[in-house]
Structures are given as C-alpha cells and as structure tokens.
C-alpha cells in the first residue's frame, strides 16, 4: 500500500511537471506568434512608408487643387488626405482586400495586409485614422485572415500633410550675407526620431550651407577635412568621399561632421557620442547643416506673406489710427512686435489668450529699393527691436517681429519665433530656446518686361521724388511711357524718370504699369550670435504643436496652402501610430 501510494504521488508530480512544461511551451509559442505578427504588421507599415516616399518623389500623388471659397482648414485638409487615399487605393492597397502578403525569409507563415479607411470594423474619416497594417501568423492551412490564424496584431497609422514637423532650430529663408554663429559649447540640435537627428540649421542652397559650415570650423580649416556632404540623391553627384566638391550647387543634402558618417558612399549614422571634431565646434550642431529648407512655404515669399498677414490679424479689425510706439506684449500666445500699434487694447479680448497681441496690423513688405534703403550687400534697412533690454525676456507661443531682432542677457523662449529681418543674440546664458526660429525678411520687387519679352528685376533710387532704375546687374533702365528699355535716348533727351505718384494712386495702392509686374522675394539676411554661453537651441515638435494651437482657422489654412509643393501636391508624414493587440474578426 505504501509503495502504491508513493507511485501515485510520483505520477501526480510527473503529470504536474508535464502540464507546466506544456503550458510554458504554449505560452512561449503564443508569445513568439504574437511577436511575429507584430513584426509582420511593422514590415507592412515600413513597406507602405517606402511606397509613400517613392510616390512623393515621383509626383504620383495628385494635387487636391486650390481651396474653394468655402474651405476651412479641416475641409481642405480632408481634400488633401482624400488625394492621398485615392493614390493608395490605386496602388493595390484596397480597403476590401482580404489578401495576406507573405513577409518571406525563414518565417513563411507570417504575413501582412494593409487596408484603408476602416478601423475596428467601422469606417472613419480619412482625416483621422484609416491606414491599418495588420500582421498575422497562420497555422499553415490557409492564407486568409481571420480564418486559421494563430495570432494577429495591428498598427494603425494616421497620416497628414506636413506643417512644422521638418523645421530646424534655425531656418534661414534668404541668402546669407552676414553669418556669425554660435562659437561656444552651446548646442544647436534637431529632434531625434528613431536614431536620426533632424538638421540643426536649414537654408536654401548648398552654397549657403557651406558658408555656415566654414564659419563653424573656422576660416583656416578645410571643409573636406571636417565635414561630409551627404546628398539626398547621390546620382546627381560624381566621385565619392565627401561629395562637397562633386555635387552641384543646387544639390539637396546635409553637411555632417566626419565622425557621424561611415562608408563610401558615406552614410549618416546619427551617433554623436564619439563626435570630437578637431579644431571646430561642428559636433555641437547635432543633425548637421541642411541645404534644403524643411518647410515648403519658406521657398515661396508670396505664400509666406499671406500666412504672416493672417497671423498678425487674428485679433479684430485693422486699425488706422496707429501711433509710433513699439508693442512688445510677451507671454503665452501670439505676440507681434512692430513700430505701429493701436493706443488702447480691445476691451473684449479673450481672457484665455490674454497675451495675444492687442494691436493687430497688416504687415506689407516694403518695395525693394523704393520704400527702404538697400545696403551694399542687398539687405533692406529695418528697425532693430531689442526685446530683452534687461536680460529678463522669457516667453512662449508665437513671436513675430517686423524688423531685425536682438536678444540680450539671458533670454528664453518655447515655441515659434518669426523674424522678418536679421536675428541677433548678444550674450546668452543657460536658458534654452526650444521650438524653431525662422528668419525670413522679404520685400516687394518690381519686374519689367524687356525688349525681347523676358522679365528682369528693377532697383530704384529716389532722386528728388523721382526714381532712377537699374536692373539686377546695375545697368540703367528707362521707361518712355510705353516700354522699358536700356536705351537712354538721344543726347539731351533722356527718357523720363518716374515719379512716386506713377506707382501709387491717391489711396496709396500700388499701380501696375504697362510691362511692369510686382512680386515678393526673400531678401538677404544676417545671423549674428555674440557669445551664447551654455544656451542651447533645440527643435521641439511638441513646442511647435503648442504654438500652432494658438493659430486660428484662417491662419492654419494659409500655412497649409503654403506647404504645397511646386506641382500642387503635398508632403505627407505620420501623425499618429497606434499598436493594437486585441483584434476583432472584422477589418
């Protein structure tokens, strides 16, 4: 009896041990299947991401067209995303498709599929979620989902048109004629996304980017010895190595310190832990110097003007009884610094946005060479606003400065700063700037039609209330009342000069003469940082999102329209990413 009892106990212990082992094996299998299903969903999401990148580069996603008079920000954004959805549906990403694409490799029973416009069985607006990437592990008997699957996982990707996601800490829209950047150990850093650090400074053109790199490493140092230019498209360049000399001047790419690249052709690694650039501070510019502006609107001064114009008019009607004082209303919200302001604040101002500028104005760019003095380097003379005279400036939200901006002492800011002139920092302490700074001075240019039908820019000099004109090369240009010409006429009978009244009517509106057109253009700019201390400039999309939350619908729509690419299409980026584990049968 004792022996039989011991045998029963041993049997029970063995069965318990077997059941535990079996349960652990099942748990391990389920965990493995769940992990494989999630990896399959991520594989599908990555495949879709690459297809989107290729489609944007090839211009395959159609333009939604110009917004209608009835469009607001949300309705026009929906049109943009509908164009995106139409492209996706036409490339095999069918919302009703039940096919499951094999991931391949050694795991043959892992597959993925992509659906549009349906999340958890219910159709949603394309302006929210709507791109479902589902991964599954099958039992080998069927390729269908949900039939005969072991595990299913989903990734829901929300997409939107890019607004401020690709900005840098410094964004310089015009040609740089005077640059003296941070020379201390302060850092200028783009935002890190999946190990990739976005550029620290973005400019328009490779030559502009090289000018900044040369300032960073010192005038006696060679760019090729300290930096590597990595083009977006290496096929436009010849040779290998740094690509500095072999890429054309209009090549889009980024200059990086040599320590954060590897290989030939070079590849950006994004690891700054071992970056110790000799004889330079280049390692402090995390993300490098980009030759492409991150926001499309910074390439289009007319659209940028419409955005700024909407931004500074967010509070009420346009006053006409301005006085020559400076409004510097700092704090959360929108602040517009200008030489013109209204004496009394609006009594019905929204308390929630109590720091919004009280004095709305319409910013209109001066006429280049007509309404302002032009220096030898091509910059318009503008008022300089010292908004930190006592070194105590601290603010957040959106700051717009109509003119040159100078910070002194130990200032700080969290959000978006738009400078319609030069940017200067004199001193600087340990308080950081987070968000983005845009320096984008612009003015109105006159274009005249030449004898051959082509167009050229005019520069004017005021001579006793009349204007003498030269073209961009400095050659005299005359107007005989009918056409523009470089012929000064017979000796003693020069072509007439134009009076100011020839350009403006009695209400001060600009007139368009025959053969004369008006457009806007970004002007040359300067950036001067004297000192800097330990003050970092760090891009933060969270700060930009908060700043954008202060923009009204009209301003957001103007910004969105300005982000259209030359062909009218948009650049798309991820707005949401959600992983789902508990999946119903419906998709």
Which H, E and C letters describe 220-256, residue by residue?
CCCHHHHEEEEECCHHHCCCCCCCCCCCCCCCCEEEE
HSE-up of residue 579 (Cα within 13 Å, Cβ side): 11
Tokens of 566: 């030359």
Q: Quote the CA–CA distance of 21 and 4 in Å, as a whole number.
A: 26
- The residues, ordered by sequence, that sit 6+ positions from 301 with a Cβ below 8 Å of its Cβ are 173, 365, 440, 442, 519, 520, 521, 522
Across the chain, which has 587 residues, the per-10-residue mean pLDDT values are: 88 80 73 84 84 86 90 89 81 58 70 64 41 76 60 82 90 92 81 80 93 88 87 78 76 90 82 72 90 94 90 56 38 63 34 37 67 76 74 78 84 89 81 92 84 81 77 81 77 66 70 78 89 79 89 91 92 81 59
Residues 274 and 330 placed together within one structural domain of the fold? no
Residues 398 and 542 placed together within one structural domain of the fold? yes
- The residues, ordered by sequence, that sit 6+ positions from 446 with a Cβ below 8 Å of its Cβ are 367, 368, 370, 457, 458, 460, 516, 517, 518
Domain carrying residue 28? 2-162
Q: Quote the CA–CA distance of 14 and 22 in Å, as a whole number.
A: 12
Which of 130, 145, 162 corresponds to the end of one domain? 162
In a domain, 338, yes or no: yes
Q: Is the pTM of this model over 0.85?
A: no
Query: Residue 145's closest CA among 107, 108, 97?
Result: 97
Domain count for the chain: 4
Q: Quote the CA–CA distance of 172 and 290 in Å, as a whole number.
A: 11
Residues 220 and 186 placed together within one structural domain of the fold? yes
Distances (CA, A) of 129 to 81, 156, 158, 160, 561: 11, 7, 5, 10, 22
Q: Quote the CA–CA distance of 357 and 15 in Å, as a whole number.
A: 77
Query: Residue 516's closest CA among 495, 499, 496, 502?
Result: 502
Q: What is the pLDDT of residue 172?
A: 96
Residues 258 and 364 placed together within one structural domain of the fold? no
Residues facing 171 on adjacent strands: 202, 438
Residues 222 and 120 placed together within one structural domain of the fold? no
In a domain, 580, yes or no: no
Q: Quote the CA–CA distance of 340 and 358 in Å, as a whole number.
A: 12
Residues 155 and 44 placed together within one structural domain of the fold? yes
Neighbouring CB atoms inside 10 A of 455's CB total 13
Residues 15 and 104 placed together within one structural domain of the fold? yes
Residues 34 and 111 placed together within one structural domain of the fold? yes
Which of 108, 128, 162 corresponds to the end of one domain? 162
Q: What is the pLDDT of residue 101?
A: 75
Residues 181 and 245 placed together within one structural domain of the fold? yes
HSE-up of residue 341 (Cα within 13 Å, Cβ side): 19
In a domain, 584, yes or no: no
Q: What is the pLDDT of residue 32?
A: 82
In a domain, 11, yes or no: yes
Q: What is the pLDDT of residue 97?
A: 53
Rounded to 5°, angle at Cα 393 from 327 and 318: 20
In a domain, 418, yes or no: yes
- DSSP E strands: which ranges in 261-331? 261-262, 267-268, 285-286, 289-290
Helix, strand or coil, per DSSP, at residue 141: coil
For residue 405, the 8-state DSSP code is E
In a domain, 323, yes or no: yes
Residues facing 151 on adjacent strands: 137
Residues 491 and 363 placed together within one structural domain of the fold? no
Q: What is the pLDDT of residue 410?
A: 78
- Residue that is written with structure tokens 């004889």 in the block: 279
Class of residue 22 by CB neighbours under 10 A (exposed 0-12, middle 13-18, buried 19+): exposed
Q: Quote the CA–CA distance of 302 and 365 in Å, as a whole number.
A: 10
In a domain, 142, yes or no: yes
Residues 492 and 458 placed together within one structural domain of the fold? yes
Residues 29 and 148 placed together within one structural domain of the fold? yes
Which of 522, 550, 580 corresponds to the end of one domain? 522
Tokens of 193: 């996304």
Using an 8 Å Cβ cutoff, are 447 and 458 in contact? yes
Q: What are phi and psi of 400, to 5 degrees?
A: -115, 125
Long-range contacts of 283-286 (CB under 8 A, 24+ apart): 283/257, 283/259, 284/182, 284/185, 284/186, 284/187, 284/188, 285/187, 285/188, 285/189, 285/200, 285/201, 285/216, 285/257, 286/187, 286/188, 286/189, 286/190, 286/197, 286/200
Tokens of 242: 């740094």
In a domain, 332, yes or no: yes
């Amino acid at each position: 009896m004792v022996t039989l009892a011991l045998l029963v106990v041993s049997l029970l212990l063995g069965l318990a041990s077997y059941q535990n082992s079996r349960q652990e094996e099942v748990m391990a299998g389920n965990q493995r299947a769940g992990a494989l299903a999630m990896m399959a969903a991520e594989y599908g999401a990555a495949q879709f991401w690459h297809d989107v990148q290729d489609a944007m580069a090839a211009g395959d996603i159609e333009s939604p067209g110009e917004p209608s008079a009835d469009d607001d920000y949300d309705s026009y954004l929906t049109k943009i995303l509908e164009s995106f959805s139409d492209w996706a549906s036409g490339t095999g990403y069918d919302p009703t498709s039940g096919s499951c694409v094999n991931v391949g490799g050694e795991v043959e029973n892992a597959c993925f599929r992509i659906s549009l416009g349906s999340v958890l069985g219910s159709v949603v607006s394309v302006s929210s979620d709507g791109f479902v990437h589902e991964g599954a592990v099958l039992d080998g008997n069927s390729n269908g989902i949900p039939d005969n699957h072991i595990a299913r996982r989903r990734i829901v990707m929300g997409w939107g048109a890019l607004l401020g996601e690709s900005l840098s800490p410094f964004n310089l829209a015009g040609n740089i004629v005077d640059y003296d950047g941070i020379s201390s150990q302060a850092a200028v850093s783009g935002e890190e996304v999946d190990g990739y650090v976005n550029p620290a400074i973005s400019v328009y053109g490779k030559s502009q980017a090289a000018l900044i790199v040369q300032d960073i490493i010192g005038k006696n140092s060679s760019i090729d010895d300290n930096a590597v230019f990595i083009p977006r498209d290496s096929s436009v360049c010849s040779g290998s190595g740094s690509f500095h000399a072999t890429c054309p001047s209009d090549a889009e790419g980024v200059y990086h310190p040599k320590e954060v690249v590897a290989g030939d052709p070079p590849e950006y690694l994004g690891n700054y832990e071992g970056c110790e650039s000799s004889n330079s501070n280049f390692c402090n510019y995390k993300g490098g110097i980009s030759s492409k502006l991150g926001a499309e609107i910074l390439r289009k001064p007319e659209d940028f003007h419409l955005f700024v114009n909407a931004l500074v008019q967010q509070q009420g009607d346009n006053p006409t009884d301005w006085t020559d004082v400076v409004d510097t209303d700092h704090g959360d919200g929108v602040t517009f610094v200008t030489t013109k302001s209204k004496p009394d604040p609006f009594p019905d101002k929204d308390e929630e946005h109590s720091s919004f500028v009280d004095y709305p104005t319409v910013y209109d760019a001066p006429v280049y060479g007509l309404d302002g003095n032009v220096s030898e380097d091509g910059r318009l003379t503008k008022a300089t606003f010292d908004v930190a005279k006592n070194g105590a400036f601290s603010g957040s939200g959106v700051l717009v400065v109509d003119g040159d901006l100078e910070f002194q002492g130990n200032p700080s800011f969290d959000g978006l700063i738009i400078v319609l002139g030069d940017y200067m920092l004199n001193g600087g302490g340990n308080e950081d700037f987070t968000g983005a700074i845009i320096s984008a001075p612009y003015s109105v240019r006159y274009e005249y039609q030449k004898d051959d039908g082509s167009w050229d820019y005019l520069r004017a000099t005021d001579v006793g209330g009349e204007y003498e004109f030269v073209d961009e090369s400095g050659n005299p240009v005359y107007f005989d009342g009918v056409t523009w010409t470089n012929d000064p006429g017979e000796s003693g009978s020069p072509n007439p000069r134009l009076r100011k009244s020839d350009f403006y009517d009695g209400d001060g509106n600009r007139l368009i003469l025959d053969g004369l057109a008006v457009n806007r253009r970004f002007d040359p700019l300067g950036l001067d940082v004297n000192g800097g201390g330990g003050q970092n400039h760090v891009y933060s999309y969270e700060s930009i999102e908060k700043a954008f939350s202060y923009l009204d619908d009209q301003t957001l729509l103007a910004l969105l329209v300005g982000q259209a690419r030359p062909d009218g299409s948009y650049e798309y980026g991820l707005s949401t990413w959600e992983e789902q584990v508990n999946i119903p049968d419906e998709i």
